[in-house]
Amino acid sequence: MNEKIFVAPSLRTEQYSDTDLSIQIAPDGLVFFARISSTNECKALAMHPVPPDLNEESWIDELEKILTENAWLKGNWKSVRILWITGKWISVPSAYFRPEEARNFLLYHNLFREYDEVHYYSIKKPETTFVFPVPGAVSQILRNIFPSFHYFPSWAPVSLQFDAARPQGLCVLLHYGFADYFVHSGQEISNFSRFNWQEPSDILFFLAKISRDFSIDLVSGNLIVCGYPGLKKAAETEMLIREYFPTLNARMPALQMEPAILAMLHPFEIPVQLMNLYLCE
């Protein structure tokens, strides 16, 4: 990820009470996005890289440095949402989920450490709850800046408005080193999982495998792929996927985009998931 910062000159602290702030925290960096709630306008997008190979303590130090040095983040925001990018999550049928038992689910799968916090996120179709850990030190840094905030897991489907007329389709959310994906039938999610990847060819392999495993015709326009800020070889990745799946839908966010933002990012680098996070609630 390369550092890229756009903050509209028209964004003022007195507007924060009508502005939603969304923050993506990933192994390779942070992304901040500010959206005026009443007008659905994008007013700020800032990308700050963090070396992903740092040990956890140094990585958290970098995280704190970025958050404290961005003075424009301090203010009375209408809402603050945190998109926590992690491959560490488990799914539980909501009928069997109890908040007081969330920690036990993570312990059983060896996903919980002593100083972690437990968070969860539920969807209705199908009725499933996703449980995921967050280091307590990360939450404490955020609390020092924001009075309140809400976590979302990397899997959050962000209401991508599937075409109900299509019998089945696939949505892939690319992240640093891994991808979450879900198969949908009309408006309902039927299957979900993740895969690891390093090169664009890895993505192509898994697309073919998922297509075969779930009998999805991805050539006829049933494929949505959302990239992420800092995606290396973004143009190459899109080109390779389109070579085999020409009707690929590189979904755009459901808001007014500043031309300056569109100019500095490849479509596969636009944080669609982060920008649509407000649709999850």
Q: Name the pTM for this structure.
A: 0.87
pLDDT band at 70 (very low <50, low <70, confident <90, very high): confident
Alpha helices in 22-121 (DSSP H): 56-69, 102-108
CA dihedral 146, 151, 152, 158 (to 10 degrees): -40
Determine the average pLDDT of the residues in 91-101: 90
At 150, list the tokens. 């809400």
Q: What is the pLDDT of residue 222?
A: 78
Of residues 122 and 168, more confidently modeled: 122
Nearest to 232 by CA among 272, 199, 196, 201: 199
Let me know: does 18 contact 63? Beta carbons within 8 Å: no
At 69, list the tokens. 């040095």
Let me know: does 234 contact 268? Beta carbons within 8 Å: yes
pLDDT band at 280 (very low <50, low <70, confident <90, very high): confident
Reduced to 3 states, what is the DSSP secondary structure of residue 225? strand
pLDDT band at 228 (very low <50, low <70, confident <90, very high): confident
Q: What is the pLDDT of residue 41?
A: 83
Residue 77 phi, psi (nearest 5)? -70, 150
**Is pLDDT of 66 > 90?**
yes
- pLDDT tens digit sequence for 237-251: 888 988 988 878 766
The H-or-E segment that residue 52 falls in is: none
